[in-house]
Amino acid sequence: MISKQDVDHVALLARLELTEEEKELYTQQLNKILNAAKALQEVDTDNIPPTAHVLPIQNVFREDRVGKSIDPEKALAIAPEREESFFKVPKIV
């Protein structure tokens, strides 16, 4: 069972600010989903390796050559706030 405190903690980790109603709703919905996920515990996976990638691809590399970059203005132009060529953010602490 996931508690409202768990939901609070997870929301903090995920940087989400939830209203009381949302907390209620998410607690309820997450419990439903996690309950369904319990079925997985029935499966014997003792000697089964995990599959993070379905394809057996390995060693994909790029040569160490400087490429053409985009105009930095293009990236700065879509910033919510900038100062000269910096991205501007509220104070950290």
Q: Judged by CB under 8 A, does residue 65 bind another protein?
A: yes
Which residues make Cβ contacts (< 8 Å) with residue 7, sequence separation at least 6?
18, 23, 26, 27, 30
Residue 48: φ, ψ to 5°: -100, 125
Q: Return the residue of 3, 5, 24, 32 that touches another protein, per CB under 8 A.
A: 32
Residues that bind another protein (CB under 8 A): 2, 6-7, 9-18, 22, 25-26, 29-30, 32-34, 36-37, 39-41, 43, 45, 48-55, 57-67, 69-72, 74-76, 78-81, 83-93
